[in-house]
Structure 1
């Protein structure tokens, strides 16, 4: 199986190979969920143990992942590193910038399979889908 990608280490090649094979060798004994990478598996285990090893030195709040702590830290610093090139508005995360950018492009990638209406955010689609469920009751 070849896709043309190359890697500097055999470990990275092995991990990438799993994207093609679908192999998920790390299985949670609590809920049965399986993972391709050991790191993601270990993060998942924290959902069962409640372990939150990453603590904010500013306010003491704890998090399961370092990325969550980093994002939280911006609430103290006011940092908004992701800037919209269209209007100059800044955001704390690339995800929020992507959502905002859709206001400029009009992109609505989430489509209701029931009626065909499209939405810019997945959460808005979910809310909309509830209207179909209520009609069925």
Structure 2
């Protein structure tokens, strides 16, 4: 099956096979990063929980 869902953000032409993946991607355009690593110095943040968990496992 081909990609059926297209990101409608200006200057973005990413396509997705599943709508939930497109919605998750679209949030990256908002720049929100609600997941903060409390073990890192500074303000290391992530927009997706799975990316945060992957990072956290490196500590």
Is 1:27 the counterpart of 2:10? The answer is no
Counterpart in the other structure of 1:69: 52
Q: Which has the higher contact order (CA 8 A, sep 6+)?
A: 2
Query: Aligned residues, how many?
Result: 55
CA contact (8 A) 2:3 2:15 kept: no
The 5 A counterparts of 1:1-137 are 20=1, 22-24=2-4, 26-30=5-9, 31-59=12-40, 60-76=43-59
Gaps of 5+ in 1: 1-19, 77-137
Counterpart in the other structure of 1:122: none
Hey, which of these two has a bigger chunk of helix by percent?
1
Structure with greater Cα Rg: 1
Name the TM-score, length of structure 2 as normaliser: 0.63
Measured in 2, the distance between the counterparts of 1:44 and 1:54 equals 16
Name the TM-score, length of structure 1 as normaliser: 0.34
Gaps of 5+ in 2: none
Deviation, structure 1 residue 58: 2.7
